[in-house]
Structure formats: structure tokens, C-alpha cells
Amino acid sequence: MTDAVTNYARYLQSPDHWALARFIVPVSRLDEFSTAVHALPPELRNQTWRLSALIGQDVQADVETIDTFNTRFSRAPRSLLIDTIELKATSVEAIHALNLPASLTAFVEIPIAPNPEPLIEAIKQKGYRAKVRTGGVTADAFPSAQDLARFIFLCAKHQTPFKATAGLHHPIRASYRLTYAPDSPCGTMFGFLNVFMAGAFAFCGMDENTLAALLSETDLNQIAFHQDSIQWRAHAISLSSLEHARAHFALAFGSCSFEEPMQDLKNQHLLQA
């Protein structure tokens, strides 16, 4: 926790801070988190942090803990505010049973196989947002491109914003090491550029099979960046449409590393070093 908090504080002051979203922390570790934040050296203090809290099994108790935390820490000069929560549900009934405060933006992680449409419809009806797991530390934790494409397509169909989590450390789909261990196995991982572009194209009406092909793209040379658009093979999307989709639909991805995705963008000359 101390390392994660210190790194995040430094990232907030780095030139890449524009790409950094919320610090994600389990509700069960909020005490540990607040202790680590208040132990930061002076040069890393007095910053406003927005947080996303991972909810456990007892949803109501965790929501009450969040309310207590926000009351205690959401004031200057060093404000810590939980405005987003993330939790899991595997059935329509479980989603409808959720009674979450409107002050918290809720992302509901759901299984995406065999067909997540009823779950996405329930998330939409409750006014929540969807969350998809795009990988993990084992090869079997990664969904198929077709399943992920169907999830994104259905979210667009039902106008349900989504975020992704896990397995998106690199811009383009390829085989990478699954962990940081020296003897880590390799596996084919989705690229976050693929996922965000698929989200934007889905938002503009791309069909499910074409989305699966985009998610499976491994050749960065097939993606062209123009002044006012991005093109993948024969398909193009305007910059304004891309911005709209990123603001309102394909929102973010959670990662245990911030430096690796940013460095990969620079290594691929997609960002200036």
C-alpha cells in the first residue's frame, strides 16, 4: 500500500498526469490507505485524490464505511473523495437488488459469456455502468475476442458506459508476459488501444464481427493517426466522435501499472517521450 500510494502521488505530479484517473482501493483497506497517504513526504502532500472503492460481500456495510470516510477526509487541504464504486454481480436479480446511493457512480462487473445482454439491460435500468474483466495473471483469465466484442457491442446498443480491468498494459494486442515474475508464462493480451477504438467504433454503429476483428488486430501499422481522425484498415472515425465516445462510453481501464502503458506508448512513438 505504501508503494502504491507513493507512486500515485508522484504520478499526479508527473507530465503524464493527464492520463491518470482514480486510485482504486478495496473498502477493506481504506484505513491502511489513509494512513499511507498521511505519511507521504511534504512534497507529495496537499493534493486532491479521487478514489474508486472496491465493494466486498457486504454491500450496505461498505457503503456506510465509504460515507464515513468521505465525511472525514473530503475536506481541504488534502481531500480524499470516493466518488466511484466497483462491485460484482452474476445475475439480473442481484443487479436489481442493489440499492446504491446516487452520489456514487457504480460500475458492476459481470461475466460476459455466454450472453451478457440481460445483465447489461439490468445495469442500464438501474442507472449503473458496466465493467468487464479483460485479463489476469493466467491465460484462461482472458476472454475471447468475440465475447469481448459482443460485450462492447451490447453496451453500445443499450447506451451503457463501461470500463475495463486487468490485462491491458500494452497498446496493441500481442503475446506478453502475464506477470512480472522472472519465469512468467506468456499469453496473448488485448491492447488498450484496440479496446478503446472498439468502444468508439461500437458507439458509432460498428457491427459485432468487425469489432472482434479490431480487438484481434496485432499490426500497429494498420492504425493511422490523422489530424482529425483515426483510421483502422478501411474504417475511420472522426476525432470529435472519438472524444465523445471516450467521454461518455468507453471510459477507462484499471491497471496495476501506470508506467508500463505510458512507456509502451512512447516506445511505439504514439506519445512523445
Write out pLDDT tens, residues 205-256.
999 999 999 999 999 999 999 999 999 999 999 999 999 999 999 999 999 8
Q: Which of 55, 88, 121 is the last residue of a domain?
A: 88
Give me the pLDDT at residue 46, please: 76
pLDDT higher than threshold 90 for residue 162:
yes
Copy the grid coordinates of residue 120: 447489461
Whether residue 211 sits in one domain with residue 135: yes
Asked if 125 and 152 count as a contact pair (C-beta separation under 8 A), the reply is no
Asked if 33 and 25 count as a contact pair (C-beta separation under 8 A), the reply is yes
Whether residue 127 sits in one domain with residue 81: no
Whether residue 127 sits in one domain with residue 67: no
Give me the pLDDT at residue 86, please: 98
pLDDT higher than threshold 80 for residue 99:
yes
Nearest to 228 by CA among 246, 220, 240: 240
Whether residue 72 sits in one domain with residue 116: no
Residues with Cβ within 8 Å of residue 120, at least 6 apart in sequence = 110, 130, 151, 154, 155, 158, 160
Specify the residue for cell string 478501411.
234
Whether residue 154 sits in one domain with residue 51: no
Please, which pLDDT band fits residue 77 given cuts at 50, 70 and 90?
A: low
End-to-end CA distance of the chain: 28
Which domain range does residue 27 map to?
Answer: 1-88
**C-alpha torsion sign, points 227, 233, 236, 241:** negative
Give me the pLDDT at residue 76, please: 66
pLDDT higher than threshold 80 for residue 78:
no
Give me the pLDDT at residue 45, please: 80
Whether residue 191 sits in one domain with residue 117: yes
For the entire predicted model, the pTM comes to 0.96
Whether residue 185 sits in one domain with residue 124: yes
Whether residue 147 sits in one domain with residue 56: no
* 146 inside domain: yes
Whether residue 80 sits in one domain with residue 29: yes
